Structure 1
């Protein structure tokens, strides 16, 4: 009589996980350097795995031995209701973000699965990056004195046992995917501009020559399209022809070209001194004029936004005149808002710039009076 075959079964212990990401922007980085070593600033709270977390940013390190570093920690604020008394298990990485918002591989730090024993527990990277290394890198945006880091966090929510058949069925039903990196066309177009490879048109601005590609310019600017493929097509197609551009500074045209190719304004090189606020405001004014001249609407809005941050009693009159001339309603409203303060209005009205504004743009003064009367 034959015996029944032995029964063999298989099961696997698997970890259920939940993932989340949190980006922290340090706006006003140079001011945070005034904090003492060991003092931290907190991000907003965020939820991962049902638990509450935040990032702790220490601009001068967590102790005297690491005072030349930036320290960053992931802190557990509180556990999810109904959580057992055991530690919360989490695996995370913290990355410095580049200009495109992608993690910079050189400055990505990863922690293995780590036990958080309760609220207040923290793990992280006391030597995340040296401050001088950050300041020399292109990841610090010197124009607005900021940089960003991102925490990618995976939390174990439970362990469970499953049989092999269930795992196979789950794997078969799960769609396959491949991580897709973010767009980086701007990098290739930046290289095209800087290398001048295949350039077929040249411009002379304030005695400085620039090489460019007429198809790129035409695709981005209706004015360049009309000029390079319309009225100026034959003249600009000649090999030795140089298109003269008047009433514009060379550095303004350089920034305009960079924006046309990359959809962003260039960042200063690490060794370049940080521009002062007056220089930034002046460049924004010139670029706004250039953007309006060449039909670059997005650049025009960027310049308006930059000028809103530079409105004061010494600039508001000239900024209002510029806004009126180039039909910038947003920045004009910002100037009106600034002048709603009686102290600011009285001071500005005593300046020569305001007298010139009243003479050159009387309709703008009438609009200002109407706005102030309605407040």
Structure 2
């Protein structure tokens, strides 16, 4: 059901309890839901990330698609046992929502300060959300005009599937894929050099690719055309790792970051040093920074140093050890 046409502004305050925070810390950068609440015509969810770079982070997510743009003023506070908050435990933001999405509160509070404060009692947090949603007045007067969302990626995806106008063929392990030189060159500096530079491949319509699995190349092609990974497929940790290598090979920086985000969820004490060396090798700075923070944390340092990959990290990436030591000094 849509919201009333005369609803110009609505206001709501909700309080959520996060119980068992110390257990949730194991999930670190995983997005966890604290609870949902409703306003006329739309649903909101409060989510939190137990530890990202030694901070607890929150986000407010608009779950349902709004009928018209919304101006959202949002205040988030941690409450102590007396039901009171303070400026350091309160943040506020404002955003206009044209479609469903989220407001992200990065570095809400350092976890070390949180543990030492009176906001965390009996291993539980009390979070108060104050939310005001407005319709822009100009929208009330001109809401007959609705601009559809961008669909360029859908058209390019259809072009890839239809193979119409394809002018380049790739061969990987006897499996072939066709594509369009202009699209690939527009998205990848490596393909641009191959097709429109002085490299030999610019004079051919057939390229054989070595040291890459066909399914990885297929997923990379789909991303190049649509900015998304293939739908309906669960990307495993290994697949994300292979895709990051492919993205680095062809200069697809956004795909590298997406793969890095997926890999973060699978990092543990046994793999952190190996993945850190991998991140340095492929110049993936977001993944490297995440691993450095992970390795330097109080809970993980000893276990990571005892892992098989740490000795390889010391020999292959000695420069990154300085960054780890600087982080350790801040933590301990």
TM over 0.5: yes
Does the Cα contact within 8 Å between 1:320 and 1:331 map onto a contact in 2? yes
Per the TM alignment, residue 324 of structure 1 is displaced from its structure 2 partner at its CA by 1.1
Deviation of the 1:187 alpha carbon: 1.4
Q: Is the 8 A contact 2:156 2:226 kept in 1?
A: yes
Which of 18, 43, 66 aligns to 2:7? It is: 18
Paired position in structure 1 for 2:197: 230
Structure 2 CA distance for aligned equivalents of residues 242 and 227 of structure 1: 12
RMSD over equivalenced CA pairs, Å: 3.5
Contact map agreement 2:297 2:328 (CA 8 A) in 1: no
Cα deviations by residue, 1:306-361 (Å, 9 ceiling, x for unpaired): 22222112321121011111222222221122223444222222222112222212
The structure that has the greater radius of gyration is 1
Which runs of structure 2 are paired with 1:56-135 in the superposition (5 Å)?
Answer: none
Kindly report which structure 2 residues correspond to 1:303-322, keeping only aligned pairs within 5 A, or say none: 303-322=259-278
The correspondence for 1:212, drawn from 179, 182, 185, is 179
- Any gaps of 5 or more consecutive residues in structure 1? 1-14, 22-40, 57-95, 104-172
Counterparts of 2:243 and 2:44, CA distance in 1: 37
Go from structure 1 to structure 2 and tell me whether the alpha carbon gap of 1:265 and 1:20 turns closer, same or farther (over 3 Å shift).
farther
Aligned to 2:307: 351
Answer yes or no: is the 8 Å Cα contact 1:285–1:303 preserved in 2: yes
**Cα offset for 1:208?**
1.9
**Is 1:181 the counterpart of 2:166 in the alignment?**
no
* CA shift for structure 1 position 231: 2.7
SS at match of 1:203: strand
**Residue 251 (str. 1) matches residue 215 (str. 2):** yes
CA deviation string 1:262-302 (max 9, x = no partner)? 01111226xxxx56xxxx21111221121122111111111
When residues 363 and 267 of structure 1 are mapped into structure 2, their CA distance, relative to the original with a 3 A threshold, is same
Gap change, CA 1:44 and 1:217, over 3 Å in 2 = same
Q: Per-residue CA shift, 1:32-84, capped at 9, x if unaligned?
A: xxxxxxxxx951354x59xxx8679xxxxxxxxxxxxxxxxxxxxxxxxxxxx
**2:167 maps to which residue?**
200
Contact 1:202 1:212 in 2 (8 A): yes
1:260 aligns with 2:260: no
Q: How many residues align?
A: 219
Any conservation in 2 of the 1:221–1:296 contact (CA below 8 Å)?
yes
Question: TM-score w.r.t. structure 1 length?
Answer: 0.51
State the alpha-carbon separation in 1 of the partners of residues 188 and 274 from structure 2.
27
Note the alpha carbon deviations across 1:233-253, whole angstroms, 9 max, x for none.
Answer: 6x5544xx4211222221111
Residue 242 of structure 1 aligns with which residue? 206
The 3-state SS of whatever aligns with 2:208 is strand
Assess if the C-alpha contact under 8 Å between 2:293 and 2:324 holds in 1: no
Name the counterpart of 1:190. Answer: 157
Shift of 1:213: 0.2
Distance 1:177 1:302 in 2: 37
